[in-house]
Chain A
Amino acid sequence: MPGEIFNPNPTVFRTSGKPSSDQYTTDPNSLWLEEDDGRHNGIVFDDDEVDPIDRDEIFDLIRYIKDPEHPGVNLEELRVVSAPQCRIAGNFVTIEFTPTVPHCGMSTLIGLSIRVRLLRSLPNRFKVDIFVQPGSHQSEHAVNKQLNDKERVAAALENLALVKTLEDCLDTS
Chain B
Amino acid sequence: MESTERLVRTWMASRRDEEITETVSNINNGSTTLLNVVKVLGEYLTSEEDQLRTSGVEFLSSILSKCFPEKLNRQSVRVLVSFYCSKMEDWDTIIPSLQGLAHLTTLPTCTSDDVPKIIDSIFERVKMKNLVQSVRFHVFTIIHNIVVRHRDVLKSMVSDFVERYVVLVEGEKDPRNLLIAFAIARVIVVEFDVAKSVESIFNITFCYFPITFRPPPNDPYGITTDDLRQALRRVLSATPLFGTLAIPLFLEKLTAGSPVTKRDTLETMAICIPVYGSSIARTNARKLWNALKLEVFQPVDQQTEEQALKTTQDLVKTIYSNSTQADEDIQGLAKDACEECLMILREPEKSQAKHAINVLCAFMSTTPSVSRYTVTQLIPYLMKQFIKPDDASVRPSVLLLVSDVLAAAREAMSHLHESELVEDTQNVGTILTSFKDELTSVIISGLKIPSCRQPAVACLLGLVSISDFLGEEELGFIVHNVNEILSFGDDVDEDDSNVALKLLSTIAVSAPRHIKEQVLPQLFSTLPDYAPSKEAITERVKYWRTLTALTILCRQPELFEILIIRLTAKLDLLCFRQALLSSDEAALEPDAAYAHSILQTIYKVLSAKIDEEHHDVPKYIDILVPRLFNIFVYSTILSTERYVIGIEPRLIITGGQIIALVVQSLPISKKEEYLQTVFSAYFDGNVKQIAAGQQAIPSDYVFCPFDASASSVTKSLVVLLSSATTVLQKEILMPVSDLNVFLNQILDWSMTKADQEHQREGIWKMIASILNKRIEGASSFLSDLLSHFWYTQIANGSAALSTRRQAIRAWGWMTKALLVRSHPSCAQFTDRLFDLFVDEELNWHAAKTFGDIVGVDKVLTKRNYAVIKILHTQRFVNSVLSRLTSGAKTSTNSHEQLAHLVALSSLISQIPRNLYARELPSLIPLLIRGLGLPDYNIRCQVIETLLAVAEEGSSDENVIPEHAPSLVTTMLKNSTVREMPSPNVRITALKYLGVLPKVVRYDILHPLKATVIRELAIALDDPKRLVRKEAVEARTSWFKFHG
How many Å lie between the Cα of A20 and that of B1028 in the bound state?
20
Whether A151 sits at the interface, judged by CB under 8 Å, is: no
B881 interface residue (CB < 8 Å to A):
no
> B-facing mask of A110-136, CB < 8 A → 1, else 0?
000000000011111100000000000
Give the complex CA separation of A79 and B650 in angstroms.
Answer: 47
B1036 touches A11 (CB 8 A): no
- How far, in Å, is A8 (CB) from chain B's closest CB? 8
Known A-B contacts A53-B1028, A170-B1036; A24 and B544 likewise in contact (beta carbons under 8 Å):
yes
The tally of residues in B whose CB lies under 8 Å from a CB in A reads 57
CB distance from B857 to the nearest CB of A (A): 8
Task: Flag whether B672 is at the interface (Cβ < 8 A).
Answer: no
Q: A14-B396, A24-B548, A57-B1028 are in contact. Are A32 and B981 (CB under 8 A)?
A: no
**Shortest Cβ gap from A165 to chain B (Å):** 14
The answer on a CB contact under 8 Å between B544 and A33 is yes
Main secondary structure of the interface of A (DSSP, over half): loop
Contact assessment for B600 and A33 in the assembled complex, using a CB-CB cutoff below 8 Å: yes
Q: Is A9's CB under 8 angstroms from B350's CB?
A: yes
Do residues A51 and B494 form an inter-chain contact, with CB atoms below 8 A? Answer: no
- Pick the most buried of A16, A32, A53, A57: most chain B CB atoms within 10 A of its CB: A32
Closest to B544 in A: A24
Q: Fill in one digit per residue for B289-311: 1 if any A CB lies within 8 Å of its CB, else 0.
A: 00000000001000000000000
Asked if A31 meets B589 with Cβ closer than 8 Å, knowing A9-B350, A171-B1040, the reply is yes
Among the 9-residue stretches A40-48, A80-88, A101-109, A137-145, the one with 4 or more Cβ atoms under 8 Å from chain B is A40-48
B983 contacts the other chain (Cβ, under 8 Å)?
Answer: yes
Determine the residue in chain B with the shortest Cβ distance to A44.
B984
Assembly CA distance A22 to B597 (angstroms): 14
Contacts A12-B354, A70-B351 given; indicate if A20 touches B1017 (C-beta within 8 A).
no
Contact yes or no, B349 A31, CB < 8 A: no
| Pair B495/A73 contact, Cβ less than 8 Å | no
Within 8 Å of chain B (Cβ to Cβ): is A154? Answer: no
Which residues of A have CB within 8 Å of B537?
28-29
Most chain A C-beta atoms within 10 Å of own C-beta, residue among B351, B352, B1025: B351
Is A162 an interface residue when CB atoms closer than 8 A count as contact? no
Within 8 Å by CB of A121, from B596, B650, B1020, lies: B1020
Residues of B within 8 A of A42 (CB): 940, 984, 987
B551 in the interface, Cβ–Cβ < 8 Å? yes
The 8 A CB mask of B989-1033 against A (1 = contact, 0 = none) is: 000000000000000000000000000010011011110100010
* Docked-complex contact B352 and A9, CB < 8 angstroms: yes
What does the 1/0 interface line of A2-13 toward B look like (CB < 8 Å)? Answer: 000000111111
Does A90 belong to the interface (CB within 8 Å)? Answer: no
Q: Considering only CB atoms, which chain B residue lies closest to A54 in the complex?
A: B1025
Instruction: Judge if A153 is at the interface, Cβ distance under 8 Å.
Output: no
Query: Across the interface, do A19 and B600 meet the contact criterion of CB distance under 8 Å?
Result: no
A96 at the interface (CB under 8 A from B): no
List residues of B (335-360) whose CB comes within 8 Å of A's CBs.
347, 349-352, 354
Whether the pair B1025, A73 counts as a contact (CB closer than 8 A) is no
Q: What number of residue pairs across chains A and B have CB atoms under 8 A from each other? A: 110
8 A Cβ contacts from B727-777 to A:
none
- A155 located at the interface, meaning its Cβ lies under 8 Å from any Cβ of chain B in the complex: no
Q: Which residues of B contact A16 (CB under 8 A)?
A: 493, 495
Knowing A9-B350, A37-B858, the reply to whether A123 touches B1021 (Cβ < 8 A) is yes
Decide yes or no whether A158 CB sits under 8 A from chain B. no
Check if B596 sits within 8 Å of A32, measured CB to CB.
yes
From B351, B493, B534, B1024, contact of A45 by CB (8 A): B1024
- Contact between B494 and A167, CB atoms less than 8 A apart: no
- A121 to B1030 Cα, complex, angstroms: 10
Q: Given the known A-B contacts A12-B354, A47-B981, are A121 and B1032 also in contact in the complex, defined by CB atoms under 8 Å?
A: yes
Contact B544 A31 (CB under 8 A): no
Residues of the B chain whose Cβ atoms lie less than 8 Å from the Cβ of A29: 537
**Contact flags B363-401 to A (C-beta < 8 A → 1, else 0):** 000000000000000000000000000000000110010
Asked if A121 and B858 sit within 8 Å, CB to CB, the answer is: no
Closest to B1031 in A: A121
Residues of A close to B451: CB separation below 8 A: 14
Taking a contact as CB atoms under 8 Å apart, the answer to whether A125 and B1021 are in contact is yes
* CB of B494, distance to nearest CB on chain A (Å): 6
Residues from chain B with a CB closer than 8 A to the CB of A49 are 1023
Given contacts A12-B349, A28-B541, contact A167 B1040 (CB under 8 A): yes
Given contacts A24-B548, A33-B593, contact A38 B600 (CB under 8 A): no
In the assembly, what is the distance between CA of A12 and CA of B548, in Å? 32
Chain A residues whose C-beta falls within 8 Å of the C-beta of B1035 in the assembled complex = 120-121
A9/B1036 in contact, CB under 8 A:
no
Q: How far is the CB of A94 from chain B (nearest CB, A)?
A: 19
B255 to chain A, nearest CB (A): 14
Give bound CA distance, A23 to B551, whole Å: 10
CB–CB A35/B600 < 8 A: yes
User: Which of B354, B540, B982 is the one whose CB lies under 8 Å from A31?
Assistant: B540
Tell which of A12, A24, A124 touches B1017, judged by Cβ atoms closer than 8 Å.
Answer: A124
A43-B518 Cα distance, complex, nearest whole Å? 39
A167 surroundings in chain B (CB, below 8 A): 1040
A9 touches B858 (CB 8 A): no
- Considering the complex of A and B, which 4 residue pairs feature the smallest CB-CB distances, nearest first? A123-B1021, A42-B984, A31-B593, A50-B1023
A-B contact pairs, 15 of them (CB 8 A): A11-B351, A13-B349, A14-B397, A14-B400, A19-B495, A23-B548, A28-B541, A32-B597, A32-B650, A35-B600, A37-B858, A43-B983, A57-B1028, A121-B1032, A123-B1021
Q: Please give 18 more A-B residue pairs, beta carbons under 8 A apart, in addition to A33-B597, A35-B650, A70-B351.
A: A9-B347, A11-B347, A11-B349, A12-B350, A14-B396, A14-B451, A24-B547, A28-B537, A28-B541, A29-B537, A31-B589, A31-B590, A45-B982, A45-B1024, A50-B1023, A73-B351, A120-B1032, A120-B1035
Q: Which residues of A contact B (CB under 8 A)?
A: 8-14, 16-17, 19-20, 22-24, 26, 28-29, 31-33, 35, 37-38, 42-43, 45, 47, 49-51, 53, 57, 61, 70, 72-73, 120-125, 167, 170-171
